[in-house]
Structure formats: structure tokens, C-alpha cells
A and B are shown apart, each in its own frame.
Chain A
């Protein structure tokens, strides 16, 4: 029946129904009692506040519209150089989480499967007692901390905590650390950014730059800006996602073969002798071995055999790469989502070395490390690989501390993971919701919502130091506690007598800001972008920034929303790399079996959408509905297939298919898309939450093989085989064909029905 209990109660009880901020707000938003009265009859005064976003590492500056001090809408801050007024869907929708009915309002304890609210003091006592016990037993090695927060200072706090207390197993796995891992793996510093002023050729391996990257909005602007100036992009990816649709060339290639392709390009450079001999002489030890290795094993026909890319294409890309003055072969964490991900990245680093990393740059004087203290730099963080190893091994874990991570959802082999998690004696989570991972926690002390926190966010992709301030736009609604504060209290409790220079997390942030203040170089974001004259004057030391005291500066900083230094110089990036570290000798992988599909099998290629790339946005109904909207598929999983492949299997467009992998069966709607690799079935990641957010769709990772990159533990996204078990009739072929001028959907001619 359509009238359910809530409707009924609304009709009867209805005191707050249908009024206030439009719709039936009061009865269904979760609000503190004191605020409900204002919601009902407030004066409706509008105000604006600035804050910043951490849904992705970019750290865009936001301006929040508040009505009667309720955050209602979010827009981009037009004055911020990071996003210049732009904002993505995730940021736009993010304001709704503060009111979410499933949001935890205070610490809860798991009592026989139910989460029972307890007071903060009680919760803190449980946590600190447990940790004290472990420390007294000297079982520091049996404690794992997991955080995937995009805020570097918050990660730094975890860092400091682990260091001080002596916990070695900190998994700090956010976008930037994962992207830098391949460099750390061969003991070099990662480059900070792509230098768009110099770079004229970008060979992009697997990164969905304009959608999901270190700073998507910045890359969007830069790619648009520079394309008109002759900047060329070649993207090597298994799927032509919207983020790379502007590439001049798309090389459809499975991630398992990225290494072979990169070395095939290297072959062209080495044979034509058009590599940077200066760089290889100074910084590339073992270069001659590398050169021999590539020349012997990666001639174009062999590369074609290993990758499936035609050899003339490899020659073409190779020539473009070698003739560019400052090319960059770019990858980010997306390259790690394969069982040989780190090896692929190593090969790409070697390719860059042949051209001296000229397309990359470093921020001068390691600004963020030196200015904000080494806390923000990740320690030798270990990756999920170690956690998975430990979980499945014989040595047990005593305690697991989770913050900003839903790794049960984001990994395959979920049944095994869940079983392993339930055998850990103590799990504490700082998540605001009970999601797939925190449902295993014994204790949850929810963190503040994004709009109640304070933080400093920065990202190196812009090439110059830029910092956005996240500040609370409302005072906290409920009984939540900032995780940073908890860590600081724990540090004081677990290591009595410790000398830490800050009392709480807010202090810590202020001290970081103090370093910017003493730097005296940059400008606040609400000031106009400097002209060339101003830049010149700065260089000779002319500086008009005057703030009488740090507090003055801090207030102005909060008002401006951020700080940046457009006058900063850039440094070139010259890492010392060692051939022996890059390659395990002699490991020429045979051509992957994924290329010759056994009959009736297709490759399950999981891709990420920018609306929900971590699987954490399912609490926002607007994004869940919009997820498949451009294919007119709603609340369901869809699978994109090349029409030629589909015809071999005799399945029609938009038919409901049942797919089967080794792990089970699931349904999806089949969509014809000519821009899909033949033999692939492209399936989006992000749907399929059961206990958390909207209960719709299927999580394809639950059905993919339990393979991951050995070093980082990142799940593989494209190595599972799938077959179509059954299909409903779908659209009849004639109605699909009429959309083309010719009766073909392979796109061999431009099929527009307009001019």
C-alpha cells in the first residue's frame, strides 16, 4: 500500500510536517532538538560561509549557503585558484550528510549485534583501556591502524600518534600516497605535479584525469586551456571514460599490459637514440642493462604480440613521445588496480627517465614538508597488502582502528574479509555511519561531519603552494568528537609525560597555519591574482603583506577561505633511479590469458565514475539516482558492451542479462556502447551497498576474483572473466538501427541526426 506509517503519522501528528525549509523537513531530518523550533518558524536569514571539501584530494574551496544557520546549499568559491568557482557533483551533494537520518549522533557500543549509545567518557575509557592493555603486553605489532582520509594533516596526526606510541602498522592509503607508492617503492621521491607550462605531450596510463585524480577540476581547466595551444594527450586505458574523452589518441589496453606498452615505447626511444643522455648518465644507474633488456625483448612486433596494440601505433606514439620537448608519462593510483600494478608503474617511471622527467616538477623547497612539518609526510606507510596478509595468516591482530575507510566494500573476497574481521578481538571505528566495515566494530566513536570540522587541505598538483581552510559552518549538532582530539588525548594518556605542542586538533591546525604566517610569502585567496609586474616586484623582495599578529592573520585566513603563493618558483624533478630496483630480472610476463577469451567468456572491466569513486557517496540520494542517468538506467547495475561483441552473443540493447563469474551470479542491464573494447563488459563500481545508503544495484567487486597488487593490496579491477547466462529480449534490433544513417552501430561513419 502506498500510505505507509510515516505518511500516516505525518497526516495525524504533522506539527513539523510540510513546512519550514520546504517539504516535510522537520519530521524527517535528524536535527538536534534545539534547532527544530527554528526550522519551524525561523526568520529565514541567509548567510554565507567558506569551507573546503575532502571528497577527493583536490581540496576545492566551497562557499556554503546557510539559512537560519542551517547549511542548505554548497557552491564553489569563485575566488579560489584551485577550483575557480567550479565544483563537482560530490561536493554539491555533500551538505546532506549532516542531516542524514542514519547518522550516528554519539558513541555507540556493539552489544550482541545492536549498537547501543553510550557516553563519550565511557567510550573513551573502553578505547584507552584496551590500548593500554595491548601496550603493557608489548603487542605493538598486533595493532593495525587504517585511514584513508584525504586530509594530509589529519593523516599526519595519525602518523604522529603511531610514531609516539610505537604502532608500526599504520596503513595510510589515500589518493596521493597510493599514487606516490611506486616511487617510494624504488626509494625515490614522487614528483609533485605535471608542469603544464613546459609539458607538451602527456601519455596518460590509466588515470581518469578530469574526473578522478589528485585535482580533477584543476586538470579539467588545464587540459582545456592547453589543448588549444598544441598540447597533445594520449590515453592508455581499458575504457574511454568521459575524463579522457578529450584525448587525441585512445589506446584501448588492458591494465595488465601497461608495462609491456611502456617498454614498447621505450624501445622506440632507445633505438632512435632520442632519449635524454644527460639524465640517464647522471641519474639512471644500471641504464645499460635496462637498455639491453628493452632492445632485446620489446621490439614493436613483440610488443604488439604482448599488448594487442598494432605495431605501427606503438611506433607512432613512440615517435610523438620522443619528439616532444617535455613529455610526461603520467599515472596515478588507478594504475595500481591490477595484479601487476606496481610493476606497471615501475616501467612507466623508467619510460619517463628516458626523457628526464621533464614534464614533471617539484614544488620549491619541498614547501609542504618544510612549512607544515614533517608530520604531513607519510612515514613508511604500509599498504593494504600487509593487512590482508596478516588477516589471512596465522599471526592474529589484537586491535584494528579504522577511520574514513570502508575497505570491506572496496575489496574483493568480501566473504573471507568479513569472517576474518569478526575474529579480531577489538575493532574501533571513527566513522559517522554504520557501513559495511564499521558494522564489525565493537565501538564506534563518530567523527564530526565534514561541515563541523576544522582542517587545512592542500595538494601539490597545481605546482604552487595552495592551501584551503576547512572550518565549521555550524557548531556541532550532536555528541560527536573530532578524531584528532581523540588521538591527542590518547597520546597523553598512553604516554604520560609526553611533550606535545598542541592541546587539541584545532590547535594543531593553527600551528600549521602559523608556519604559513611566518613564511610571509603568499597571499590570501580573496585577493586578486597577481599581475606580471607584481610577480616581478615580489622577486626583488617587495612585499606588502602585513598582519599585526597571528590571530589577525588567522581571522583573515578563515574569512578568505585559503592561502596560496602564486610567486613560488618551481623546481625540476631529478630522481635517482636504479634499474635493479625497477625490474625483477627476467620476469617477462607471457601474454595474459585475458586476451584469448575462452568461448562465451567476456572480461569484466570495472570502472569508476566521478559521482562515487570510493563507494562512499551512497548516502546521498541525489547521486545514487543520477549515477546511471546518462544511460537512462536508474538504481540498477548496467554493463556496457561493444555492439559487435553483443551481436556475436545475440543480445539486444537494454536487455536484462544474468551474468556469472566464479563467485556467483548477478543481473545487469546491457547497454550498447561503440566506445568499449571488444570483448569487454564495462561495469561501474559504486552501487551495491546493503547496510549503508541506498540498497540498490550490485557491487561488482563482490563477484570479481580475489586478486590484488602484491605490494599495495589494491584490488584488481579488470582480470575477472564473466559469461552471460541469460538475456531478456530488450530493444528489438530494428529500433536501435534506425538511429543510424547506415544500419551499423560500429561508428564507422558519423551518425548524427543533426547537421
Chain B
């Protein structure tokens, strides 16, 4: 069984892999039920056709596309936190990167499946490969998501290798799996160097791929002629929104695992403070983009655009629109700029609001433009059916399940990076600081 003789100072990080509480099984069973219900509803959709959803004409896209954009948006958590923070040599990233990268991996899988769920004829999916047209934004989408998925999986795997090696060395369950996956990593100087190089290359590569993914997804909408969609701001707008929702999702995941696995010592208040600040900045940035978008629409006052605009502001969709503004702007600003409210529960509230608000934002982007065609047809009405709601629930359940499975196999916090940080960071950072500070004056002795 597990080897308790080697009691690591970071033992608590290994514990989830070796110990499974009853709560885990209960939760897994519940989530599995929800997931299987979603699968059954999907099979029903395959038999009867897309008519089991609430989509109709003119609202031809609904929950599936909304969830698609939403989940791919959350995937930006991984890269931006992981890659950018690594690139900027921020030390406080160390306990966060693993969870961020896992989010990306799982959510890309879920999000990438959603367009297939949305297809009327998924049995003809191979037509995309045989007869695909590269002029279509959907194909750009396919390419970039595949590239991103590949890159981020590798980017998850590479920093995982030393941790797998640690697990392999401890012995115990899945030793065969760990041995294969660890690729013979022993921690030698040369291996460390190679690993460092690989991670550095990938970290730089991943950033443009990630930005391209969500830009390309936004181009699915902005390349059409629909009023409300045909806007040049969509590229950066969606990237900002993605990072925004990604950070929020990351915060929620972190708080959840911190509570469950008692990671309090590793995920300290200061991490949440920094992430909270980032969230606040993204919220303001999001608000800036939204405001710019709607101001130009309103000022131009073109009739088809105004039909969509009024539908969002004062018409049938106004409750959702104002709820979105509340969740995405008011709640984060209130909770995160106020020192008293910027506690961990406060940050959690803000993050949950942001996640809901960003999902609503996708809803506000997709449905009102479709419901208000250019020609004077009557306004469309979209009411999601049980199939769509259950598939959304199944997607969320799959997300949590994926995390739970991962936590049973691999450590959720990058153990070797924590160790490296503890051992070497202080020296590295103080050396770096010395490079910034002016050379005049005494160089005092450093306490190592």
C-alpha cells in the first residue's frame, strides 16, 4: 500500500491520491448520474433530430453554441495564468499552474465536443475532413482548437513529469502508469535543463495559439452579416472575456480544492488577492469593451442594429442583459475594490457572479441577434428544452468529474515547483532584484 515511511514535507499534497473519503464516492455517483442523464438525452436527440431542443427559425443556435463559446473561454485560464505568469517570472504562480492547466485540458475537451452535439448530422462529421472548406470560419475554429488542445496538453504534461517521477519513486498504486509516463525522469542536471528548455519554448508558443483560439471563435460571429455580430471589436472582446471567465473559474476551482484538501498553507490569501486584482482589472477591461461596442451601435442608430439593441436593453432580453452587467461589472468591482469585502468568501462570490455573468454574456451575444432578423419577420422566441439544460448540466458534471479523476491520479499542486520555489526562488529573486537596484552603495550580506 502506500509508503508512509517517506514522510515528505509536502505530504498533504500527496494525500488526495492515496486517500479517498466517502464524500468523494457520493459526489462522483451523483455527478455520474447527471452525466449519464445527459448522455441519454443526447442519444434521444440523435434519434429524433434537433427538434427536441428549443431551437427554431430564426433562432438557429442556442445553448449548445453558447456553452461551446463559454467553455472554450474558460480554457484561457490555463495559458494565461500559467504561461504569462511563468513568462513574467511571477513566483506566486507556483501552486496555481497545475490547476490552471488541468482546467484548460478538461474544458477544451468538453467545449470541443459541443459543436458536434449541435450538428444536425453528426454522422457526417468526416465530411469536414474530406471536403472541408478552409474559407469557412468553422474550419479555422477546428484548426485552432486542435492546435490549442495539442499544445496545452503537452504544456500540462511537461511540468507534470517531475511530479510523476516523485509518485513513481514513492511506489504504491498505478506504479506501472507512472513509470511509463515519467519517461525515465531522474532529476539529473541534464534532464532538468532539457525540461526547462521545453517548458520555456512551449510557454511562448502557447500564448499566441490561445489568443488565436478565442479570436477565431469570435470570428464565427463577426464574419456574418447579422446585426449585432458584424463588429470588428469581437476579436479582442472575446479574448478579454475569455481570460475574465477563465480567471473566475480558476479562482472557484482553487477555493474548492483548498477547502476539500486543506491546501491552506499553499494557496494563501495573497494568491487570492493577486488573482482578485487580476479579476478586477479584467472586469474593468470587459466593461470598457462592452461600453465601446454598444455606444458605437447606439450612436450609429442603424435600424437593424437598433432592433437588436433595443431588444437587449429594453425588450424581451433586458432582464438577462442587466443581470449580466450586474454580475460582470457591479459585483466584481464592489467586492474586489473594497478592502473589507476582498476576503476569500468575497472573492468567491465575485468569481461565481462572473462565471454566471459570462455565460449570460454568451447568451446575449448569440440569441438576440438571431431572434431579430434584418427583414421584418416577427421576433423569434427561444425557450431551451430539457435536452439542452440537461446537456449543460452534464457538461458541468463532466468538468467536475474530470477534475476528480485527475486528483486521484496526479497531484493538484505542482509539487516539484513548490520544492524548487522553496529551495531556490529566494536566491534567484534577490539576484534579480540586485540587477534592478542601482550599483552605488553598500552591498549588504544576504541572508540565504
Let me know if B303 and A735 touch, CB within 8 A. Answer: no
Let me know if B378 and A739 touch, CB within 8 A. Answer: no
Check: B299 CB closer than 8 A to any chain A CB.
no
- With a cutoff of 8 Å between Cβ atoms, the chain B residues found around residue A731 in the complex are 316, 378-379
- With a cutoff of 8 Å between Cβ atoms, the chain B residues found around residue A738 in the complex are 303, 306-307, 310
CB-CB contacts below 8 Å: B271-307 with A: 303-304, 306-307
**A632 CB contact (under 8 Å) in B310, B311, B372, B378:** B378
Q: How far is the CA of A2 from the CA of B385 in the complex (A)?
A: 15
Let me know if A732 and B316 touch, CB within 8 A. Answer: yes
Q: Name the residue among A2, A632, A734, A741 with the largest chain B CB count within 10 angstroms.
A: A734
CB-CB contacts below 8 Å: A716-755 with B: 731-732, 734-735, 738-739, 741, 753
- With a cutoff of 8 Å between Cβ atoms, the chain A residues found around residue B150 in the complex are none
Q: In this complex, what residue of B is CB-closest to A653?
A: B378
Check: A689 CB closer than 8 A to any chain B CB.
no
Check: A654 CB closer than 8 A to any chain B CB.
yes
Q: Name the residue among B303, B306, B378, B379 with the largest chain A CB count within 10 angstroms.
A: B378
**A753 CB contact (under 8 Å) in B303, B372, B377:** B303
Check: B129 CB closer than 8 A to any chain A CB.
no
Q: How far is the CA of A605 from the CA of B265 in the complex (A)?
A: 79
Q: How far is the CA of A130 from the CA of B378 in the complex (A)?
A: 58
Let me know if B316 and A632 touch, CB within 8 A. Answer: no
Check: B315 CB closer than 8 A to any chain A CB.
yes
Let me know if A753 and B310 touch, CB within 8 A. Answer: no
Check: B438 CB closer than 8 A to any chain A CB.
no
Q: In this complex, what residue of A is CB-closest to B313?
A: A734
- With a cutoff of 8 Å between Cβ atoms, the chain B residues found around residue A732 in the complex are 314-316
Q: In this complex, what residue of A is CB-closest to B314?
A: A734
Q: In this complex, what residue of A is CB-closest to B371?
A: A735
Check: B25 CB closer than 8 A to any chain A CB.
no
- With a cutoff of 8 Å between Cβ atoms, the chain A residues found around residue B307 in the complex are 735, 738-739
- Min CB distance A465 to B, Å, is 47
Q: How far is the CA of A753 from the CA of B377 in the complex (A)?
A: 12
Let me know if B315 and A735 touch, CB within 8 A. Answer: yes
Check: B21 CB closer than 8 A to any chain A CB.
no
Q: How many residues of A contact B (CB 8 A)?
A: 11
CB-CB contacts below 8 Å: B364-387 with A: 372, 376-379
Q: In this complex, what residue of A is CB-closest to B304?
A: A753
Let me know if B376 and A654 touch, CB within 8 A. Answer: no
> Contact mask A235-269 → B, CB, 8 Å, 1/0?
00000000000000000000000000000000000
**B316 CB contact (under 8 Å) in A735, A739, A741, A753:** A735
- With a cutoff of 8 Å between Cβ atoms, the chain A residues found around residue B310 in the complex are 734-735, 738
Q: In this complex, what residue of A is CB-closest to B49?
A: A2
Q: Are A753 and B379 also in contact (CB < 8 A) when A735-B307, A735-B311, A735-B316 are?
A: no
Q: Are A734 and B315 also in contact (CB < 8 A) when A632-B377, A632-B378, A739-B307 are?
A: yes
Q: How far is the CA of A734 from the CA of B307 in the complex (A)?
A: 9
- Min CB distance B47 to A, Å, is 9
Let me know if A654 and B315 touch, CB within 8 A. Answer: no
Check: B174 CB closer than 8 A to any chain A CB.
no
Check: B48 CB closer than 8 A to any chain A CB.
yes
- With a cutoff of 8 Å between Cβ atoms, the chain B residues found around residue A753 in the complex are 303-304, 376
> Contact mask A287-306 → B, CB, 8 Å, 1/0?
00000000000000000000
Q: How far is the CA of A731 from the CA of B316 in the complex (A)?
A: 8
CB-CB contacts below 8 Å: A1-16 with B: 2
Q: How far is the CA of A181 from the CA of B376 in the complex (A)?
A: 44
> Contact mask A351-375 → B, CB, 8 Å, 1/0?
0000000000000000000000000
Q: How far is the CA of A731 from the CA of B306 in the complex (A)?
A: 16
Q: In this complex, what residue of A is CB-closest to B306?
A: A738
CB-CB contacts below 8 Å: A462-476 with B: none
Q: Name the residue among A732, A734, A735 with the largest chain B CB count within 10 angstroms.
A: A735
Q: How far is the CA of A48 from the CA of B310 in the complex (A)?
A: 55
Q: How far is the CA of A654 from the CA of B376 in the complex (A)?
A: 14
- Min CB distance A573 to B, Å, is 46
Q: How far is the CA of A734 from the CA of B377 in the complex (A)?
A: 15
> Contact mask A602-638 → B, CB, 8 Å, 1/0?
0000000000000000000000000000001000000
Q: In this complex, what residue of A is CB-closest to B311?
A: A735
Q: How far is the CA of A632 from the CA of B375 in the complex (A)?
A: 14
Q: How far is the CA of A735 from the CA of B377 in the complex (A)?
A: 12
- With a cutoff of 8 Å between Cβ atoms, the chain B residues found around residue A2 in the complex are 48
Pull 18 A–B residue pairs with CB atoms less than 8 Å apart, ordered by A: A2-B48, A632-B378, A731-B316, A731-B378, A732-B314, A732-B316, A734-B310, A734-B315, A735-B307, A735-B316, A735-B372, A735-B379, A738-B310, A739-B303, A739-B307, A741-B303, A753-B303, A753-B304
**B interface residues (Cβ-Cβ under 8 A, vs A):** 48, 303-304, 306-307, 310-311, 314-316, 372, 376-379
Sorted from nearest, which 7 A-B pairs have the closest CB atoms?
A738-B307, A735-B315, A734-B310, A732-B315, A734-B314, A632-B378, A738-B306
**A interface residues (Cβ-Cβ under 8 A, vs B):** 2, 632, 654, 731-732, 734-735, 738-739, 741, 753
Known A732-B316, A734-B310; further 15 A-B contacts with Cβ < 8 A: A2-B48, A632-B377, A632-B378, A654-B378, A731-B379, A732-B315, A734-B314, A734-B315, A735-B372, A738-B307, A738-B310, A739-B303, A739-B376, A753-B303, A753-B376
